[in-house]
Amino acid sequence: MASNRIGRINEEIQKELSSAIRNLKDPRVQNTMISITHVEATPDLRYAKVYVSFLEEQKAADAMKGLKSAGGYLRRELGSALNLRYTPELVWALDDSITYGAKMLKLINSLEVQKDDDDQA
């Protein structure tokens, strides 16, 4: 029962952070496309690990620094949007699953498919 509640809270945190990031005025964050892929809050809601993905990999390090420096502002915005006893402390993590998936797709597409004459009959 409690895990379902945590799942709903994770989704709400993800939604609220996505909208709050758009309002940041930090140029490191504004100049790149950021996607929050997943949020994992601890059961006591003291910490939330936020997985982010970036469209441009070369700007990822600067954007992560910008997100970490704006963590206090984002936490305050999250606290005002959600009615929770504790507002979780945000821990940022780079999610490279999209990049990894694109790399695997490229490798799969680069393989040559050999057709046998027996399969066509």
Chain segment 18-54, per-residue pLDDT in tens: 999 998 898 888 888 888 999 999 999 999 999 999 8
pLDDT-derived band at 116 (thresholds 50, 70, 90) equals: low
Domains detected in the chain: 2-111 (3.30.300.20)
Handedness of CA 63, 69, 72, 77 (dihedral sign): negative
Q: Which residues are CB-neighbours of 49 under 8 A, at least 6 positions away?
A: 39, 40, 41, 91, 93
Report the predicted TM-score, pTM, of the whole model to 2 decimal places.
0.78
Q: CA-CA distance, 24 to 30, in Å (whole number)?
A: 7
